[in-house]
Structures are given as structure tokens and as C-alpha cells.
């Protein structure tokens, strides 16, 4: 019944395969998930949209200009300096450049995750007209927020490299651990991004609360201190914080030059994947309602 | 060239007993704070709106269906349901083919972005590939006659320019199914002529079109069939001339001799 209708646009044979003979059936589905297979196929087919949207929003924030790039590097560098001095004063002893490198590496990783969230929280509510007028998997919107954060994170690597040299941090094959940890950070950021993006539709003041939440998260994560320095009575903070095991592993690899503790990796992965699955289920089961909620 | 194409006889759009009920919040912006403060007071800040009630119709391959109805009759909701943007609360919608929408509410353009960015983003969201977009881009710009404005933010566009670009995008996507919601009367007289001609061309082609318009003359001239929606229910499904006549009579704008009022008939 859905035999491919031959269109008069035979000059574009590829299009015929890709778009024609597509039968869309829309049925009631207020709650619950759409068929996951087709959803993921649609998502993959439109992945370019997420890339383009991230490029466009970076352009809108002027990060394609020289000064924009400089600011992207300068901002985290200055923040690291401020926190370094602050911690030095509070502790009454200097942590030295090795601590500075730890602080910087973890702050950059933390900024990557929180940048995703800050972008994502407005991704759906800010996408108003597009959502009202085009049918596409809405999950592309928070996905593009994560892409924006990745694009902002990458240049910070070039700030870190000279600091790592100055601190003569250990250089070796253990650095390859950076890749799986970064992957887990992306998974974690994506999961949380989907949650906040969908929740913002229902609670428009979430964005305000998020700012406070992220600030508290910074102090509760092993960034301004090493995870090993956390006294036992506050140990639960490290267990309850999804970011803590990943940051601990991150610092182990980059700062101490050792392979990460498998327990940290396992905890981090468990947090990241649970939040990713929870976020995706929450978002996808809600997304068809967005058009009437905006 | 349309005679060569195979019409497999199955309807392109089949809408069966579709109802759409949605809940909207009465608050301007729902917030966590107000939700928490309302807790325990059992105050419902949500109202149910029945936008469509058991609407059924089919559009065969290559036909143009006009949709008329007063403001709030559910025309736009119907268009969104067929486009797959709003899920039906009951019933079933089956659409065969690729859909391009030109809906009244701003077509998905973001005013902060440039015309070019909007065209690219909209096209990708609609499922085009980059190669296809590159091919169509020049055609779009040429049709909209906005060459020198494409790299300017769309907030600098006049509403006519905005509408022209929207129309150009929708008709250039070469969709199997085109949904147009009150967008025929954009731009100046010359562009309106051009878009009307383009519409007529599209209607003559092998394409299935849903056309919502308050310009009843366009409905009569362009459509093969028409439906009239009233308060979410389908009042009539017939020849365009018959539907337009009944609708104008209902509106009370036709005079005693059933001479249609030129104002309602025109593309205003």
C-alpha cells in the first residue's frame, strides 16, 4: 500500500528513497513513549540540525570572532586564578602550581557540564516557533546545547597545556584515560540537559533556581579541593554527587598522572548512564506535549 | 508531467475521527514557585480546550483541500495535527509522503538569526540534507527576492519580507504534501500575484495541498474540495463553491441575493 509513488522529481532519485513512501501515522499518545526505533532513525537523519543549531548559537554569542575566542580562553583562566587565590587565603598555605593545574582541569570539566545545562534549560522554551511549526525529534534541542558546550570546552585544552608543562605534570599513556572520562562527562551532561530542558517547560522559573544549584554544585564537587581531603563526615557528598567520581578520576589522570580508581569510573559511569536514560525517557515521553505548552 | 506519475489510489491524507483536546495553563508562565505555593489549595490552574471534535476526511493524491472556518474553529490545530506537531487525543491521522508546512505563526523563523541561518535551520529541522538545501537555497532567495537581506537578522525584515521568505521556503521544498495556513496574502501586490500564480502552479501539479484561507475566492479558485470547521466540528465537506456559499451565508455577510461580499472574497 505504501508502494513508492513515483514523483515527477525523478532528477533527485535519492530523495525518492529517503522521503517518499513515508507513511506517518499519528495516534493518541499523551503519555508514554513513541516507537523508539523510528524515533532514533529520525533523530539520526536530522543530526545535522543539531550541529547547525549549535554553530548558529555560538555565532549569535559571537564566539566565531577573535575576541570571542579570546574571551572563551580568558574567562576560565581568570576564574581559575580567582579561585586559586581564594583557596590559598582560606587554607593559609599554598597548594602550588600542581594544585592550580588540578583546580583548572576540574573547573574546565565542571564548566563544560554546567554550560550544557545553562544552554539546555532554555533550549526548548526558546525554540518556540520552530516547535510550533515543524515536526522533528525535540531531543535535538538539548543535544545541540551539549554540542555548544563541547565547542566551548575544546579551546580550553590549549590553556591547560602550558599550565601542565609549567607544573611539570606527569606525561604518559595514562592520559588516554581522559577520553573515556570525557565521554562519561558528555553522557552525564546530556542526561541532565534533557531533564532541565523538559522541566523548564513546566516550571519557567527553573532557570533561576538552576543558577543557584550550579553554584552549590561547584562547592560540593572536588574542584576547590582534592577528593582525598574530604573528611569522612562529608564523604556522602562525594557519593551523592554525580560529578564527583568523574572529577576525581579526571584529576587523578591529569594531575597525579595515575590511572583512575576503577571504583570512581564505575560510580561515574553508573551515574552518567542512569541520568542519561532517565533524562531521555523523561524528555521523549513529554516532548509531544511541548507544542501546546509553549 | 503529472500524468506520468503513479497515483496509487490511496489517500495521501486520511483523518479518522480525530479529536484534539489540550490542556493549557491559565498562568502566563507556570513556575515552580507558584506551584509550590498553590500546594494543598487544590486550585486547578489548567483548562481543557477541545479544539477538534471527531473530524474525519480524506484527501486523495494530487488534490487540493480548502479549509474554512471562523477564528478559533480549529483550523490551525487541524493543520498542526496533520503535520505531526500536535498529537491527536483520539482518532487517527495517516499521512503518506513528505510534508512541508507554512503555518501562520511565523513559520518557525527566529527573528534574531539571519535569513540564511533561518532557512538552513528550518530546512534541516524539516529533514532536508545539506546537499538538497544548497540546491534549493538559491531558488528560495530568488523567489523571495531578498538577495541583499539574507545575511541580516530577521528582526530587521519588514513583515512583508518575512512573509515572502516564509512562502518561498514552503513552496520550494517540493513536498508531496503542502500545508498552507493563511499565508497567501503576503507582500505587495506584485508578490501576491506571483505567489498566487505559484500556488496555482503547485495546485495544478501532482501535489496534495491543504489550504487554510480566509480569502474565500482563493479557496474557490484553487481547491478541489473544501471543508468547513465550526467550533472544532466539521460542518461540511463538499465542493468548494458549495462550502463557500454555505459558509458566507452562515457568517451573514452575503446579502439577500446571495451575492458574495467582495471584501470577504478578496485576498485581504
Please say if the pLDDT value at position A52 is more than 50. yes
Average pLDDT, stretch A194-203? 92
- Report A:171-210 residues touching B (Cβ under 8 A): 202-206, 209
Q: DSSP string covering A32-90, please? A: SPPPHHHHHHHHHHTHHHHHHHHHHHHHHTTTTSHHHHHHHHHHHHHHHHHHHHHHHHH
For B90-128, what is each residue's pLDDT tens digit? 888 888 877 776 664 445 677 788 888 888 888 888 778
Average pLDDT, stretch A207-227? 92
> Are B86 and A136 within 8 A, CB to CB?
no
Q: How far is residue A106's CA from residue A115's CA, in Å, rounded to a whole number?
A: 14
Contacts of B83 in chain A (CB under 8 A): 134-135
What's the confidence (pLDDT) of residue B268? 39
Nearest neighbour of A203 by CB, restricted to B30, B86, B87: B30
Please say if the pLDDT value at position B3 is more than 50. no
The residue written with cell numbers 471527531 in the block is B54
What's the confidence (pLDDT) of residue A5? 41
For A232-251, what is each residue's pLDDT tens digit? 998 888 889 999 999 999 99
Contacts of B105 in chain A (CB under 8 A): 129, 132-133
All 3 cell numbers of residue B259?
A: 451575492
What's the confidence (pLDDT) of residue B197? 85
A13: closest chain B residue by CA: B132
> Are B121 and A130 within 8 A, CB to CB?
yes
> Are B85 and A19 within 8 A, CB to CB?
no
> Are B87 and A288 within 8 A, CB to CB?
yes
What's the confidence (pLDDT) of residue A2? 39
Q: How far apart are the first and last CA of chain A?
A: 37
Would you give the distance in Å from CA A153 to the centre of its chain? 10
User: Residue A101: which H helix or E strand, with range?
Assistant: helix A96-120
**How large is the ipTM?**
0.77
Q: How far is residue A51's CA from residue A57's CA, in Å, rounded to a whole number?
A: 10
Q: How far is residue A50's CA from residue A43's CA, in Å, rounded to a whole number?
A: 10
Look at residue B241 and give its three-state secondary structure: helix
Q: In chain B, which residue ranges form alpha helices assigned H by DSSP?
A: 32-38, 75-83, 115-125, 130-144, 159-172, 189-204, 216-222, 240-251, 262-265
Average pLDDT, stretch A269-281? 96
> Are A5 and B117 within 8 A, CB to CB?
no
> Are A204 and B103 within 8 A, CB to CB?
no
> Are B93 and A26 within 8 A, CB to CB?
yes
For B51-66, what is each residue's pLDDT tens digit? 888 899 988 888 889 9
Q: What is the DSSP letter of B78?
A: H
Nearest neighbour of A129 by CB, restricted to B81, B108, B132: B108
Average pLDDT, stretch A181-206? 94
Which of A24, A196, A200 is the mutation pick for testing B, counting most B CBs within 10 A? Answer: A24
Q: Is the whole-model pTM more than 0.90?
A: no
Amino acid at each position: 500500500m505504501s508502494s513508492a509513488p513515483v514523483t515527477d522529481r525523478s532528477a533527485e532519485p535519492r530523495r525518492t528513497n529517503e522521503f517518499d513512501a513515508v507513511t506517518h501515522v499519528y495516534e493518541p499518545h499523551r503519555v508514554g513513549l513513541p516507537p523508539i526505533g523510528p524515533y532514533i532513525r529520525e533523530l539520526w537523519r536530522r543530526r545535522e540540525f543539531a550541529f547547525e543549531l549549535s554553530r548558529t548559537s555560538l555565532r549569535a554569542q559571537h564566539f566565531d570572532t577573535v575576541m570571542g575566542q579570546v574571551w572563551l580562553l580568558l574567562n576560565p583562566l581568570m576564574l581559575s586564578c580567582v579561585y586559586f587565590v581564594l583557596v590559598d587565603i582560606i587554607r593559609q598555605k599554598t597548594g602550588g602550581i600542581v594544585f592550580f593545574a588540578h583546580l583548572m582541569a576540574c573547573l574546565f570539566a565542571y564548566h563544560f557540564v554546567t554550560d550544557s545545562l545553562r544552554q539546555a534549560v532554555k533550549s526548548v522554551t526558546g525554540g518556540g516557533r520552530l516547535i510550533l511549526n515543524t515536526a522533528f525529534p525535540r531531543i535535538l534541542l538539548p543535544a545541540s546545547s551539549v554540542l555548544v558546550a563541547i565547542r566551548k570546552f575544546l579551546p580550553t585544552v590549549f590553556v591547560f597545556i602550558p599550565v601542565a608543562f609549567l607544573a611539570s605534570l606527569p606525561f604518559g599513556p595514562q592520559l588516554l584515560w581522559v577520553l573515556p572520562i570525557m565521554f562519561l562527562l558528555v553522557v552525564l551532561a546530556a542526561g541532565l540537559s534533557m531533564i532541565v530542558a523538559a522541566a523548564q517547560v513546566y516550571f519557567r522559573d527553573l532557570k533561576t533556581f538552576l543558577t543557584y544549584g550550579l553554584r552549590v554544585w561547584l562547592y560540593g564537587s572536588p574542584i576547590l579541593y582534592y577528593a582525598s581531603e574530604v573528611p569522612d563526615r562529608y564523604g556522602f557528598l562525594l557519593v551523592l554527587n554525580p560529578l564527583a567520581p568523574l572529577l576525581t578520576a579526571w584529576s587523578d589522570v591529569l594531575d597525579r598522572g595515575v590511572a583512575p580508581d576503577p571504583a570512581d569510573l564505575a560510580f561515574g559511569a553508573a551515574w552518567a548512564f542512569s541520568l542519561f536514560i532517565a533524562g531521555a525517557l523523561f524528555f521523549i515521553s513529554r516532548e509531544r506535549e511541548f507544542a501546546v505548552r509553549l | 508531467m503529472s500524468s506520468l506519475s503513479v497515483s496509487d489510489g490511496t489517500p495521501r491524507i486520511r483523518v479518522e475521527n480525530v479529536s484534539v483536546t489540550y490542556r493549557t495553563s491559565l498562568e502566563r508562565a507556570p513556575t515552580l514557585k507558584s506551584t509550590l505555593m498553590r500546594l494543598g489549595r487544590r486550585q486547578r490552574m489548567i483548562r481543557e480546550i477541545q479544539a477538534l471534535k471527531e473530524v474525519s476526511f480524506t484527501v486523495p493524491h494530487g488534490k487540493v483541500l480548502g479549509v474554512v472556518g471562523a477564528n478559533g474553529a480549529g483550523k490551525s490545530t487541524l493543520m498542526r495535527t496533520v503535520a505531526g506537531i500536535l498529537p491527536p487525543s483520539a482518532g487517527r491521522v495517516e499521512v503518506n509522503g513528505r510534508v512541508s508546512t507554512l503555518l501562520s505563526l511565523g513559520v518557525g523563523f527566529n527573528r534574531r538569526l539571519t535569513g540564511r541561518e533561518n532557512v538552513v535551520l528550518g530546512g534541516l529541522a524539516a529533514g532536508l540534507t545539506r546537499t538538497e538545501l544548497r540546491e534549493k537555497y538559491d531558488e528560495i532567495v530568488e523567489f523571495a527576492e531578498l538577495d541583499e537581506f539574507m545575511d541580516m537578522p530577521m528582526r530587521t525584515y519588514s513583515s512583508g519580507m518575512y512573509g515572502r521568505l516564509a512562502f518561498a521556503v514552503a513552496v520550494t521544498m517540493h513536498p508531496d504534501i503542502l500545508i498552507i495556513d493563511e499565508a497567501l496574502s503576503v507582500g505587495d501586490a506584485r508578490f501576491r500575484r506571483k505567489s498566487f500564480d505559484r500556488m496555482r502552479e503547485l495546485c495544478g501539479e501532482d501535489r496534495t495541498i491543504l489550504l487554510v484561507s480566509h480569502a474565500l475566492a482563493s479557496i474557490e479558485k484553487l481547491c478541489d474540495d473544501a471543508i468547513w470547521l465550526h467550533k472544532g466540528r466539521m460542518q461540511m465537506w463538499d465542493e468548494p463553491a458549495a462550502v463557500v456559499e454555505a459558509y458566507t451565508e452562515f457568517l451573514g455577510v452575503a446579502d439577500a441575493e446571495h451575492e458574495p461580499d467582495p471584501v470577504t472574497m478578496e485576498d485581504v
